Structure 1
Amino acid sequence: MLPSNSFGKSNISISRLGYGAMGLSGSFGSMEESEFIQSIHRSLELGVNFIDTARAYGPSEETIGKALKTWDGPQPFIATKVKPCGKGGWGSPIPVIEAYPPGSIQASVDASLQALGVEALDLIQMHQYWSAWDDEPYWLEEMVKLKEAGKVKYIGISIPDHRHDMALSLVKSGKIDSVQSILNIFDPIALDNLVPLCEKHGVAFIARCVLDEGGLTGLLSSDTTFTERDFRNGYFDAGPRSEYIARVERLRSFIPQYASSLAALAIKYALHAPGVTTSIISMHIKEYAEQNAAALQEDPLPDEVVDELYKRHRWIRNFYERKYWK
């Protein structure tokens, strides 16, 4: 069994390892849909019961819907995200009226319900949230109405990049049930304020980019190439790449004494704080699901190792600015 946590203030138990479904869009390489469905089924077999997707992830929701129809076990907790209407807004703020004009949230939710083949979404999240939107509350009111109508059970936000603290005020307001944000060895800043505040106020914290788009697995070399469509194309080169590789190499000093692999080290680090409800990791390849689940069966990292990683291996930078501002 995988370790689990309660989702926020609810009594719903979700696995601390979540299925990140961005890979179902082909963002990390093309595969047959049947292989994607196998990866979902394998993850569920291993005890993963939290799936995170988005309307913006191409056919991801449809693929999940097909996988659920052929799955005869307990139904997982399904989280998805509203699709923004406006272009941009990832590297810098976009007015909420452009990203989510009135009525667009409900339209996106209705489309998600149809694609996933479910009667209600467990969690709906704003895919790009900026704190300036708090002065335009209509979007949150629309989400609350969907909750009251029974179309969604919980509502939350997803922070678009590394600026974790933009959500602090909304977390304290008591108006949302979850926050999704970046958390990994290179960027542990969410642990300073956001994660403890979420824990204090009963807001679920969903960690993403735990493996930093795969870079923390050690996959990168000086001659690694990605296709034009691959999300990682150009992502690691803003560092520059040589610096990225050097920093990952320094992490190998913890292997195998404290973790069986670099990926296991990164996963165990992200889940060390109890305030981290779950960590979503791309598992569109079933072997990834098996490897990631195995990491959670290892002994936890000692506090002193976590402290050393936190203090001496952080590398705060925002590759997303380079990614979206080519």
Structure 2
Amino acid sequence: MRYRTLGKTGLEVSELGFGAWGIGGMSWIGADDEESLRALRLAIDRGVNFLDTAYAYGDGHSEQLVGVAVRESEETVYVASKIPPKNMEWPARPGLRVEEAFPGDWVAACTERSLQNLGLETIDVQQLHVWSDEWVGQGDWLNSVDRLKRDGKIRFFGVSINDHQPENALRLVDTGLVDTVQVIYNVFDQSPEDALFPSVEAERVGVIARVPFDEGALAGSVRPDTTFPPGDFRTEYFSGGRKREAWRRVQAIAADLDVPVEQLAERALRFCLSHPAVSTVIPGMRSTRNVERNVAAAEAGPLGQRELAKLGAHRWVESQDG
């Protein structure tokens, strides 16, 4: 496993992180707690030292599982979590004041709740689960963040940028107040390269890249006839003609790279790791099988310029619209 510095935090984190949304038991349907714990333990054993969870992932269930794995490990493992907006709106609508989403007392109370779920004294990276650049200079959330740092409840602070809105955090990055940003970045949605990545590199802000497989499409596991369990968010995400169009595009990528569709997941993960602004990539890994595959892909390292140039031509801006 290779490691990179998480921006100005100075933390040396594994290039492959563990995205713990899928083990929360909600939105992603079908997770088994025992298999989730086996996956967490195996990931840590393989050198993964960065686990990203959130209270919203199963109302704290994901945090509880992550806490079990971290507390029983003798390795140094860094934990990132997220504070849900008080109004429970994802993403934040334009014009919303930050006091409606993240009042200072809510930031503090949610952090305490996450610490209880994790069974830890400190969260290494605490994040706001949505963000709007309209909030820069608003509210008392930052006072609460500073207090949590002084009290040793959190070490560093970041935000999870709204889906497919990488430019909606540029003002925050420029303030120097944020240690990390989490953003969707994959072969389809390459938009963080346009403005966000140059900005975070200039400010030494760590980047946590999420959704490297576009919820399974770039792994070749979503086809026109694919169905999802009742209640699974992917039913809505791949609604309309998106399954058919994503599959068409995935086949085109495989043909362009001259590889089987089954090998695209490896290329998709390595694509994310090829950008120097990225500190870690956090695919969901609900099974030991997925851990083994993703560890092998990460250990293969960044892609060569020839493949990167080919993948650069497969940007799909429309992916943000479903």
Which category describes the TM-score, using the shorter chain as reference length?
over 0.9
CA–CA distance in structure 1, aligned partners of residues 219 and 261 of structure 2:
12
Match of 1:87 in 2: 88
Q: Could you tell which deviates more after superposition, 3-12 or 168-177? A: 3-12
Gaps of 5+ in 1: none
The residue type paired with residue 68 of structure 1 is V
User: Deviation per CA, 1:4-55, whole angstroms, max 9, x where unpaired?
Assistant: 1011123321001110000111232323311111010011111110000001
Match of 1:74 in 2: 75
| CA positional deviation for 1:254 | 5.0
User: Deviation per CA, 1:49-76, whole angstroms, max 9, x where unpaired?
Assistant: 00000011111001111222332x3131
Q: Is the 8 A contact 2:104 2:142 kept in 1?
A: no
Q: How does 1:4-23 map to 2 (within 5 A)?
A: 4-23=3-22
CA–CA distance in structure 2, aligned partners of residues 267 and 282 of structure 1:
12
**TM-score, normalization by structure 2:** 0.93
Match of 1:47 in 2: 47
Match of 1:129 in 2: 131
**TM-score, normalization by structure 1:** 0.92
SS in 1 for 2:209: strand
Q: Is the 8 A contact 1:258 1:301 kept in 2?
A: no
Match of 1:112 in 2: 114
SS in 2 for 1:281: coil
Match of 1:65 in 2: 67
The residue type paired with residue 6 of structure 1 is T
CA–CA distance in structure 1, aligned partners of residues 93 and 265 of structure 2:
30
User: Deviation per CA, 1:167-222, whole angstroms, max 9, x where unpaired?
Assistant: 11111111110000110000111012211221221110111111111111001122
| CA positional deviation for 1:255 | 5.1
CA–CA distance in structure 2, aligned partners of residues 220 and 22 of structure 1:
19
CA–CA distance in structure 2, aligned partners of residues 151 and 82 of structure 1:
13
Gaps of 5+ in 2: none
CA–CA distance in structure 1, aligned partners of residues 114 and 171 of structure 2:
28
What RMSD in Å do the two structures reach over aligned CA positions? Answer: 1.9
Select the residue among 154, 157, 160 that pairs with 1:158. Answer: 160
The residue type paired with residue 21 of structure 2 is M
| CA positional deviation for 1:134 | 1.0
SS in 2 for 1:214: helix
CA–CA distance in structure 2, aligned partners of residues 40 and 305 of structure 1:
31
CA–CA distance in structure 2, aligned partners of residues 117 and 296 of structure 1:
29
Match of 1:32 in 2: 32
Sequence identity of aligned pairs in percent? Answer: 35
Q: Is the 8 A contact 2:86 2:101 kept in 1?
A: yes
Q: How does 1:1-326 map to 2 (within 5 A)?
A: 2-26=1-25, 27-58=27-58, 59-71=61-73, 73-90=74-91, 92-93=93-94, 94-254=96-256, 261-298=263-300, 300-310=302-312, 312-317=313-318, 319=320
The residue type paired with residue 14 of structure 1 is V
- Runs of at least 4 residues off by over 4 Å: 254-260
Aligned length: 318
CA–CA distance in structure 1, aligned partners of residues 198 and 132 of structure 2:
20
The residue type paired with residue 35 of structure 1 is E
